[in-house]
Amino acid sequence: MSRHFDAIIIGTGQAGPSLGARFAEAGMTVAIIERHKFGGTCVNTGCIPTKTLVASAYAAHVARRGAEYGFAVNGDVRVDMKRVKTRKDEVSGRSNRGVEEWLRGLKNCTVIQGHARFQSSHAVVVNDEVLQADKMFINVGGRASVPAMPGIQDVSVLTNSSMMDVDFLPEHLVIVGGSYIGLEFGQMYRRFGSHVTIVEMGPRLIGREDEDISEAVREILEAEGIQIRLNAKCISLAKHNSGVAVSIGCDEGPPEIVGTHVLLAVGRIPNTNDLGLDRAGVATDPRGYIVVDDQLQTNVAGIWALGDCNGRGAFTHTSYNDYEIVADNLLSGDHRRVSDRIQAYALYTDPPLGRCGMTDLEIRKSGRAALAAKHPMSRVSRAVEKGETQGFIKISVDAETKHILGAAILGTGGDEVIHVLLDVMYAKAPYTLVQRAMHIHPTVAEFLPTVLSKLQPVA
Ligand SMILES: Cc1cc2nc3c(=O)[nH]c(=O)nc-3n(C[C@H](O)[C@H](O)[C@H](O)COP(=O)(O)OP(=O)(O)OC[C@H]3O[C@@H](n4cnc5c(N)ncnc54)[C@H](O)[C@@H]3O)c2cc1C
């Protein structure tokens, strides 16, 4: 038995559902297949639940600082992890149900639950049924990487997914991996009341960022009592009476940390190994990411790959932008391309880091003449008023064109304020536009002209 559709979408992450809705509205028949939870990573185990937990952790942190703001909390601030989890589950669950109900309510759209595997380039098998389509869209996302480090089979480790079931306070959470996911969980659990140690193999945290950002984030986390162990080589795990012993072989400090729980946050891998891509003839790179062109088409005509599985982005907004590119190109005759987008993302520590464009290193490597300026948040009045003065703003511009090349705002509101600069970059307007605009007082954004007035040539 087989059914035929105009389009088959595999996965209901951040691209699939919107794509399905747009196709269905255009009158195409669509089958959308999901093997697990509707909404995928962001909705169920990624952005939405973690940012909900970050909000609980922030509230606890502010409550502990009550005296600074002029109020008293009777007794210690204690976090009820069951209620924290319930709040997270409610927010995340609403989104998950919303995606499913939306898809099931769409005319022309058939929702199928099950694992899809390619049978050929234009047919997949789901629950023993063959589904065929002229156009296939792969939006299968990724999962936490669990590398084969020594001892891993002997202990139980947490990932970002299993962390979602935690409704208790780990006494000592050891986080292996000092990048974006590890840092968000680290600060959050420290604020919930756990002892937290972050173990990072590299010489600094968030190694893709500029050194001054890594350093400032390290200082912020250490000031809250988080232990950070860098240059951890040869990480191995073993059972211990108190939980798990993590051997780290660092140049400095004790060679072993004993924690009650271990969270592995060492990267993500694409869900492409169980899709039958070989039967469809779809090419992947050595890490399993589906190879796509600038318009997200794979090497096989009529098959596109969107979201984390194509290796062209690892964020909700990059996956959603993939949907916009594919939908506009196929339905509106547009010529949108991945290479048109400007790198932008945030790290949701407190204060957050908002980033857009190139890093300092990328600018230096590009060899272009640049101007740069840096301004501490301690001299941003809005930050002072809020009592949140950690971090800095830094902006780089092209000395000739005056276009903004890159920026980082590590500071209160940094995840929002960065968009002022990002939109000017998209407008391909010179930075002087920001200087001449009248901004609202008191905001962090009103200081952007001040920062830009300090631009100096980069050596
Ligand atoms: C802890 C954490 C925090 C994050 N925080 C942020 C953040 O703050 N901001 C941000 O922008 N990004 C964040 N991300 C990244 C973000 O979640 C992902 O980039 C985003 O979800 C990508 O979605 P996607 O569309 O590629 O697919 P996914 O959301 O991963 O969804 C893929 C779906 O496909 C399904 N599927 C897979 N294989 C099959 C198959 N064979 N058959 C049927 N269905 C299948 C899966 O079950 C899943 O539902 C975070 C990620 C993590 C892990």
Q: What is the pLDDT of residues 213-246, one digit of tens each?
A: 999 999 999 999 999 999 998 899 999 999 999 9
Q: What residues form DSSP beta bridges with 111? A: 32
What's the pLDDT at 459? Answer: 83
Residue 247 and residue 252: Cα distance in Å, rounded?
A: 13
What's the pLDDT at 357? Answer: 98
Residue 432 and residue 122: Cα distance in Å, rounded?
A: 51
Q: How far away, in angstroms, is 415 Cα from ligand 1 center?
A: 20
What's the pLDDT at 234? Answer: 86
Q: What is the pLDDT of residues 382-414, one digit of tens each?
A: 999 999 999 999 999 999 999 999 999 999 999
Q: How far away, in angstroms, is 308 Cα from ligand 1 center?
A: 7
Residue 276 and residue 130: Cα distance in Å, rounded?
A: 13
Q: Give the pair of three-digit tokens for residue 280.
A: 């469809």
Q: Phi, psi (5° rounding) for residue 401?
A: -80, -15
Task: Give me the mean pLDDT over the 428-457 stretch.
Answer: 98
The region, left, alpha or beta by phi > 0 then psi within -120 to 50, assigned to residue 174 is beta
Residue 89 and residue 6: Cα distance in Å, rounded?
A: 36
Q: What is the pLDDT of residues 101-130, one digit of tens each?
A: 999 999 999 999 999 999 999 999 999 999
Q: What residues form DSSP beta bridges with 303? A: 136
What's the pLDDT at 254? Answer: 81
Instruction: Using pLDDT thresholds of 50, 70 and 90, give the confidence band for residue 59.
Output: very high
What's the pLDDT at 233? Answer: 85
Q: Which atom of ligand 1 is nearest to the CA of 308?
A: 26
Would residue 419 show up in a list of annotated catalytic residues for this protein?
no
What's the pLDDT at 71? Answer: 96
Nearest by Cα to 198 from 214, 185, 216, 211: 185
Whether residue 1 is predicted with pLDDT greater than 90 in this model: the reply is no
What's the pLDDT at 88? Answer: 98
What's the pLDDT at 250? Answer: 74
Catalytic hit among 195, 335, 419, 441: 441
Q: What residues form DSSP beta bridges with 113? A: 34
Instruction: Using pLDDT thresholds of 50, 70 and 90, give the confidence band for residue 132.
Output: very high
**Distances from the Cα of 173 to the Cα of 187, 188, 218, 398, 419, angstroms:** 11, 11, 17, 44, 34
Residue 145 and residue 40: Cα distance in Å, rounded?
A: 16
Q: Do 206 and 214 form a contact (C-beta atoms < 8 A)?
A: yes
> Which residue is closest in CA terms to ligand 1's atom 7?
47
- Beta-strand pair 117-120/123-126: antiparallel
Q: Give the pair of three-digit tokens for residue 369.
A: 């003449």
Q: Which atom of ligand 1 is nearest to the CA of 181?
A: 1
Q: Which atom of ligand 1 is nearest to the CA of 319?
A: 25
Q: How far away, in angstroms, is 339 Cα from ligand 1 center?
A: 21
Q: How far away, in angstroms, is 43 Cα from ligand 1 center?
A: 8
Residue 192 and residue 374: Cα distance in Å, rounded?
A: 33
Instruction: Using pLDDT thresholds of 50, 70 and 90, give the confidence band for residue 183.
Output: very high
Q: What is the pLDDT of residues 27-39, one digit of tens each?
A: 999 999 999 999 9
Residue 42 and residue 141: Cα distance in Å, rounded?
A: 10
Residue ranges lining ligand 1, Cβ < 6 Å: 10-15, 33-37, 40-42, 45-47, 50-51, 115-116, 139-142, 160, 181, 271, 275, 307-309, 314-317, 319, 348
What is the pTM assigned to this prediction? 0.98
Q: How far away, in angstroms, is 45 Cα from ligand 1 center?
A: 8
> Which residue is closest in CA terms to ligand 1's atom 37?
140
Q: How far away, in angstroms, is 48 Cα from ligand 1 center?
A: 11
What is the per-residue DSSP string for 193-216? T-EEEEE-SSSSSSTTS-HHHHHH
Q: What mean pLDDT value characterizes the chain?
A: 97
Select from 316, 317, 321 the residue to mutate for testing ligand 1; criterion: most ligand atoms less than 8 Å from CB.
Answer: 316
> Which residue is closest in CA terms to ligand 1's atom 47?
36
Share of the chain above pLDDT 70, in %: 100
What's the pLDDT at 253? Answer: 80
**Distances from the Cα of 273 to the Cα of 286, 289, 348, angstroms:** 12, 10, 30
Q: What is the pLDDT of residues 248-300, one digit of tens each?
A: 987 778 889 999 999 999 999 999 999 999 999 999 999 999 999 999 999 99
Select from 110, 115, 315, 326 the residue to mutate for testing ligand 1; criterion: most ligand atoms less than 8 Å from CB.
Answer: 315
Whether residue 442 is predicted with pLDDT greater than 80 in this model: the reply is yes
Whether residue 373 is predicted with pLDDT greater than 90 in this model: the reply is yes
Q: What is the pLDDT of residues 63-115, one digit of tens each?
A: 999 999 999 999 899 999 999 999 999 999 999 999 999 999 999 999 999 99
Long-range contacts of 221-225 (CB under 8 A, 24+ apart): 221/183, 221/186, 221/187, 221/190, 221/349, 224/61, 224/187, 224/190, 224/191, 225/190, 225/195, 225/196
